[in-house]
Amino acid sequence: MKKFNHYDSSLLDLKTENVDGKRHYVTPDGNKYISITTLLSNLSKAGIQKWRNRVGAEEANRISTKASRQGTGVHSICESYIKNEDGFLDGRMPNEVEMFQSIESLLDCIDDVHCVEGALYSDELKLAGRTDLIAEFDNQLAVIDYKTSRKIKTWEMCHSYFMQGAFYAMAYEERTGIPINNIVIIMAVENEKPLLFKETKDRWIEPLNQVRHKYM
């Protein structure tokens, strides 16, 4: 088991509130900024509804519940692993362990961890969220996100992930003064080889701003 080096980023945690049914984060100044995940969910609503209509509500609920539970489990394992916690696989579901093990070699490319589950906000963008990880990946500082999927996803299907990563990079620099331009998505795919996507913040600032202007 690899041991990861950690730095103290000194990020403040943020409380969350529901405003008109949408998750917002409350900043130290009392501002309430919509969650980046909530904002970007607008991009997939039509496709999700079309899928639900095709497979039926009962089957859609079953698949969604299983996927959510599995994603939460794998994410929890990854977080414990990065935090160097002993027994991080104890009591885990076999399918979650299998998906973690499929991406373990990619996780081992990580080091010099700046924050895990760090709460971030941007007064400039009026957005907030919680990043999985900010650390070096292959010796370059990056926003790193773990994802799980039932099926193989293409680059075109991951645009919202890249916009999310761009926001975290911008917010982290705003909060700490430390610039980040790299975005890394590590994806465990059920019964398939893992996927690795690398992008840069600069490519996704304009698409993110277009979404902001449309839905905020």
Give 92-126 pLDDT, tens digit per residue: 999 999 999 999 999 999 999 999 999 999 999 99
Both tokens of 94, joined, read 């076999």
pLDDT band at residue 1 under the 50/70/90 scheme: confident
CA distance 87 to 159: 35
- Which pLDDT tens digit goes with each residue over 134-182? 999 999 999 999 999 999 999 999 999 999 999 999 999 999 999 999 9
Query: What is the structure's pLDDT at 46?
Result: 60
How do strand 140-149 and strand 182-189 relate by DSSP bridges? parallel
CATH T-level fold of 15-215: Lambda Exonuclease; Chain A (3.90.320)
Residues 10, 173, 211, CA angle at the centre, nearest 5°?
Answer: 120
pLDDT band at residue 52 under the 50/70/90 scheme: confident
Query: What is the structure's pLDDT at 114?
Result: 96
- Residue of 113, 109, 107, 165 lying closest to 135 (CA atoms): 113
What is the Cα Rg of the chain in Å?
Answer: 17
Flag whether pLDDT at 208 surpasses 80: yes
Domain ranges of the chain: 15-215
Average of per-residue pLDDT values in the chain? 93
Q: Find all residues with CB under 8 Å of 163, minimum gap 6, and list them.
A: 40, 204, 207, 208, 211
* 8-state DSSP, 86: T
Query: What is the structure's pLDDT at 82?
Result: 97
Query: What is the structure's pLDDT at 161?
Result: 97
